[in-house]
Homo-oligomer: A and B are copies of this chain.
Amino acid sequence: MNQKRPRAIIFDVFGSVVDWRTSLIDELTAFGQTRGILADWTALVDAWRGEYVPSMKRVAAGELPWMTLDELHRASLDKLVVEQEIKGLSESDLVHMTLGWHRLKPWPDSVAGLNRLKSRYIISPLSNGNVSLLVNMAKGANLPWDLVLGSDIFGYFKPAPETYLGAARLLGLEPGEVMMAAAHNADLKAAKALGLMTAFFVRPTEYGPAQKYDLEPRGDWDYIASDIEDLASKLGV
């Protein structure tokens, strides 16, 4: 009852708020049928997500200049289309597919949970997605953010400290007044090390039926919830 509460809650988005895997598999399967293009779309989506962390690490290491996640997604797709021998894709097809990340669908509890939280707390994504991706996603999925903090505001990807501390600075709050909420223990570990509060909820099928990681909390997080609606309940709204 007396547990400390944050002033603002910043959310990881891919996997935590939206179900990138099912969204992309469904969209690309329908797209392939419409366009008459043969591919193992599930394999493409899993490999595409597989490039996500390595591609950001190449930017963080200085092997690549700063670029947005949209640009990294496109570069990874170009590579995978060759590797997986997917034929017949036009330039506009590749643009459309890359923008599929702007059209991801929320988990069933996300919109209701965020609306409840918004009634008392400032809510924002803190995502490696760029602002335009996150804004287009929010418009399409009815995510009621108070503001949108994308990686291109900071010029860094998580888990760089500039992202977590930059969010607190822009919110005019101390790090300890801001809570990072995510389905990923590594994200929370980085936030906690900088003094932010933390909330974990599990998304057991984010990576499909054979998911091996992030099936349980692995840290001394301030709040542990079953989903975003449950987090709202635990935060008194």
A→B interface (CB under 8 Å)? 70, 122, 130-136, 138-139, 145-148, 150, 152-153, 169-173
Knowing A147-B131, A172-B70, the reply to whether A139 touches B153 (Cβ < 8 A) is no
Taking a contact as CB atoms closer than 8 A, the residue among B139, B171, B173 that contacts A146 in the complex is: B139
User: What are the 5 A-B residue pairs with the smallest beta carbon separation, nearest first?
Assistant: A132-B172, A147-B148, A131-B170, A135-B147, A132-B171
Across the interface, do A146 and B153 meet the contact criterion of CB distance under 8 Å? no
- Across the two chains, which residue of chain B brings its CB closest to A138? B146
Contacts of A70 in B (CB 8 A): 172
Kindly provide the distance from the CB of A163 to the nearest chain B CB, expressed in whole angstroms. Answer: 13
Complex Cα distance A148/B122, Å? 12
Across the interface, do A139 and B122 meet the contact criterion of CB distance under 8 Å? yes
Across the interface, do A122 and B147 meet the contact criterion of CB distance under 8 Å? no
Contacts of A152 in B (CB 8 A): 169-170
- Across the two chains, which residue of chain B brings its CB closest to A152? B170
Q: What are 8 pairs between A and B in contact, CB < 8 Å?
A: A131-B170, A132-B171, A132-B172, A135-B147, A139-B146, A146-B148, A152-B170, A153-B153
Across the interface, do B146 and A122 meet the contact criterion of CB distance under 8 Å? no
Taking a contact as CB atoms closer than 8 A, the residue among B147, B171, B173 that contacts A147 in the complex is: B147
- Across the two chains, which residue of chain B brings its CB closest to A172? B132
- Across the two chains, which residue of chain B brings its CB closest to A150? B170
Kindly provide the distance from the CB of A226 to the nearest chain B CB, expressed in whole angstroms. Answer: 27
Complex Cα distance A132/B124, Å? 12
Contacts of A145 in B (CB 8 A): 146-147
Across the interface, do A173 and B122 meet the contact criterion of CB distance under 8 Å? no
Contacts of A147 in B (CB 8 A): 131, 134-135, 145, 147-148
Taking a contact as CB atoms closer than 8 A, the residue among B131, B133, B173 that contacts A132 in the complex is: B173
- Across the two chains, which residue of chain B brings its CB closest to A131? B170
